Amino acid sequence: MLQSREGQRVPEVTFPVRAGNAWKHVSTAELFDGKKVVVFSLPGAFTPTCSSSHLPRYNELAATFFAQGVDAILCISVNDTFVMNEWLKDQEAEHIIMVPDGNGTFSEGMGMLVDKTDIGFGKRSWRYSMLVDDGVVTKMFIEPDEPGDPFKVSDADTMLDFIAPEARKPDQVAILSRPGCPSCAKAKQILTAEGYQYADIPLPVSTRSRAVGAITRAGTVPQVFINGVLIGGAEALEAWVAKGKLQAA
């Protein structure tokens, strides 16, 4: 049975970390003492849920966490430092500190080291998240002890809602575009000017018309989505921004 460690200090562990071409040793004291730290731990780098959901959302919400007084966000996995460093680069997760618990010492000390030999993983960390204040665990979200790899409570949104329920999360913005499109460039300029970070999705010529039509029922790019709502092209985006400013005035 996986037990919460709320109210207890994190295990005292030293992590061998490869930085550049040199080894260094990072202690839990360096990571946690005098700091408010969010931790999320997962079964393995480059694995599906970890790469598609768990890590990216913590990175996406990092600025909001920091605005709420969080000093650092740590990702812990029973992987070696080389794997964790490559995963960090692959994910472009610049706001996350990777902690390679290669020997599973920290995970074992947390009571979260589990046997995954049935899928060839050996010993790995169970998926969980926690808030640590000056080395003491103040809150844990542990995934339910059930078969497979449950991902229900250790996500970034759950942790942020616990820390600051009223915190405004960044809007999720995406734009369907094509290279060399003046209207696409205009839409991106508007988004940038309004402070939106967006995912640019350039579509290939061979499938652009069908893709845009299937997704938006329109025939041209750009097509801008904000929080799952289709705004439309550059002119529609401009009108949407103007309307929002008028309503706020």
Q: How does pLDDT run along the chain (249 residues), one tens digit per residue? A: 699 999 999 999 999 999 988 999 999 999 999 999 999 999 999 999 999 999 999 999 999 999 999 999 999 999 999 999 999 999 999 999 999 999 999 999 999 999 999 999 999 999 999 999 999 999 999 999 999 899 999 999 999 999 999 999 999 999 999 999 999 999 999 999 999 999 999 999 888 889 999 999 998 999 999 999 999 999 999 999 999 887 876
In a domain, 29, yes or no: yes
Residues recognised as catalytic: 50
Return the ∠ at Cα 210 (arms to 206 and 230), rounded to 5°: 125
What pLDDT score does 245 carry? 83
In a domain, 117, yes or no: yes
List the one residue out of 90, 49, 40 whose CA is nearest residue 70.
40
In a domain, 168, yes or no: no
79 and 192 within one domain: no
Select from 103, 136, 163 the last residue of a domain. 163
Distance CA 205, CA 35 (A): 50
pTM of the model: 0.86
Select from 163, 191, 210 the last residue of a domain. 163
Distance CA 85, CA 37 (A): 20
The CATH number of residue 189's host domain is 3.40.30.10
Domain count, the chain: 2
What pLDDT score does 1 carry? 67
Distance CA 44, CA 208 (A): 36
Domain that holds residue 33: 14-163
Angle between helices 182-193 and 234-248 (to 10 degrees): 20
